[in-house]
Amino acid sequence: MRVLGIETTCDETAVSVVESDRDGEGRILSNEILSQIKAHQAYGGVVPEIAARAHIEVIDVLVKQALLTAGMKLSDMDGIAAAAGPGLIGGVMVGLTTGKALALVAQKPFLAVNHLEAHALSPRLTDGVNFPFLLLLASGGHSQLLFVRGVGDYVRLGTTIDDAIGEAFDKVAKMLGLPYPGGPEVEKLALEGNPEQFAFPRPMHGRKEPDFSLSGLKTAVRIEAEKIAPLTLTDIKNICASFQAAIVDVVADRTKMALKVARADFAEPTAIVVAGGVAANLAMRRALHRVASDNGLPLVAPPVALCTDNGAMIAWAGIERLRLGLMDGLDFAPRARWALEAKVSPHV
């Protein structure tokens, strides 16, 4: 089974061809990604209109390149998958419309993929993780702890009540005058700073409900930065290190609590999985590895290149849905907001 996947929900235009063998093992045949970082850097964040126009300019070229790299023709595909949301609506429309047109022309099944579900299922492509598993889905716009029982079968154990993890990283970076994208800059400078220089709070730490709250931590960073301004490079490095240490502690604690809830209320997970853009943070991976190891479970994280937005995860989610006969009509509407349709744990 081979599926072409299209991703245009934010500032990466991405197209990929992925195949699955008879045993269900996935293989990436091509994974073309064109980042728009330079186009948005001057604005300190993604400008929706610029992003949408940039997607339009390159999407057809990337489709051709993805097929060429894979050594395939459009007629060789078993389905066409496109991210239908959530995301910047202009960008979503570009990818979704392109996917529908390709499916119509080639007379292939069309699959409208939830971007969040694509992140959630991506470790099954890279590592063949079996259901059920505990998932930390962490990105610039989303932070959730989910018990994943199957395709389309999710139980939300915890979420953020204010800022997402990636959003907190980006806002702190902007506060410190670091270039866009801010998260990787904070991580880089944290390597050279003292994580114990500032005693930042660990919000929600120890609470039985595995939710996140990061606005207070962000405010504490701002107050400390204003107190010692003007900031030297050493100050910035120490703030980044102390902030990241606080985030990592919170993530580890919240994940441990979610694992406790999952074991008590549902079933033993096969693994702890982390996915989404923030999963590329190596300090966070190390902390989660310790949590998993202490609890007798493996930690599974996609390769760093597949943590950020990419077409391969869309194609794979399409394969997972196509196997179950979950196809969509060409009238499927783009969605700026599209929550992962998860049941909420009754004991959280």
Q: Are residues 263 and 195 in the same domain?
A: yes
Residue 131's CB is within 10 A of a number of other CB atoms, namely 14
Q: Is residue 348 part of a domain?
A: no
Sheet with 153-159, side-by-side order of all strands:
299-300, 272-275, 133-138, 143-150, 153-159, 342-344
Q: Are residues 48 and 116 in the same domain?
A: yes
Q: What is residue 342's predicted lDDT score, i.e. its pLDDT?
A: 58
Q: What is residue 343's predicted lDDT score, i.e. its pLDDT?
A: 62
Q: Is residue 343 part of a domain?
A: no
Place of tokens 């997402």: 164
Q: What is residue 37's predicted lDDT score, i.e. its pLDDT?
A: 78
Q: What is residue 305's predicted lDDT score, i.e. its pLDDT?
A: 84
Q: Are residues 71 and 28 in the same domain?
A: yes
Q: Are residues 226 and 277 in the same domain?
A: yes
Q: Is residue 347 part of a domain?
A: no
Q: Are residues 158 and 284 in the same domain?
A: yes
pLDDT one-digit tens code per residue, 98-156: 999 999 999 999 999 999 999 999 999 999 999 999 999 998 788 999 999 999 999 99
Residue-number span of the structural domain to which 286 is assigned: 131-304
Q: What is the CATH number of the domain that holds 270?
A: 3.30.420.40
Q: Are residues 72 and 147 in the same domain?
A: no
What proportions of the chain, in percent to the nearest 5, are helix, strand and coil? Answer: 45, 20, 35
Mean pLDDT per segment of 10 residues, for the chain of length 348 residues? 96 96 93 86 81 94 98 98 96 98 98 95 95 92 92 94 93 93 94 97 95 95 96 98 98 98 96 93 96 98 90 98 96 92 58
Q: Are residues 292 and 318 in the same domain?
A: no
Q: Are residues 142 and 274 in the same domain?
A: yes
Q: What is residue 345's predicted lDDT score, i.e. its pLDDT?
A: 59
Cβ pair 19, 31 in contact under 8 A: no
Cβ pair 348, 266 in contact under 8 A: no
Q: What is residue 344's predicted lDDT score, i.e. its pLDDT?
A: 62
Q: How many domains does the chain have?
A: 2
Q: What is residue 81's predicted lDDT score, i.e. its pLDDT?
A: 98
Q: Find the DSSP H helices in the chain.
A: 37-41, 48-70, 89-106, 115-127, 165-175, 182-190, 215-227, 233-265, 282-294, 311-323
Going by C-alpha positions, the residue among 113, 109, 116 that lies closest to residue 327 is: 109
Instruction: Please state, in angstroms and rounded to a whole number, the distance separating the CA atoms of residues 257 and 267.
Output: 14
pLDDT one-digit tens code per residue, 49-76: 888 999 999 999 999 999 999 999 999 9
CA torsion through residues 162, 165, 168, 174, sign? negative
Q: What is residue 136's predicted lDDT score, i.e. its pLDDT?
A: 97
